């Protein structure tokens, strides 16, 4: 009896997920948000409130 053993196929290593800042639209971590969902005035209000709270501590 003859047994033919073939070596296992080498697979390409998985691409590591980038950990730094998002590099642009092609980055898989980029999530699109519509302008309606992002209200800049609310963001500034929240930041100012956090700054005031931090100043009191």
* 36 or 9: which leads in pLDDT: 9
Q: Residue 32, SS3?
A: coil
Place 56 in a pLDDT band, splitting at 50, 70 and 90: low
Q: Residue 3, SS3?
A: coil
Is pTM, for the whole model, over 0.85? no
Q: What is the pLDDT of residue 32?
A: 84
Alpha helix (H) residue ranges in the chain? 40-56
Q: How many CB atoms lie under 10 A from the CB of residue 57?
A: 4
Q: What is the pLDDT of residue 48?
A: 92
Q: What is the pLDDT of residue 43?
A: 86
22: left (phi over 0), alpha (psi -120 to 50) or beta: beta
> Range with the lowest mean pLDDT among 6-15, 18-27, 43-52?
18-27
């Amino acid at each position: 009896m003859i047994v033919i053993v073939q070596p296992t196929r080498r697979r390409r290593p998985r691409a590591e997920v980038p950990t730094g800042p998002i590099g642009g639209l092609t980055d898989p971590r980029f999530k699109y948000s519509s302008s309606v969902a992002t209200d800049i005035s609310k963001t500034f209000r929240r930041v100012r409130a956090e700054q005031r709270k931090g100043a009191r501590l």
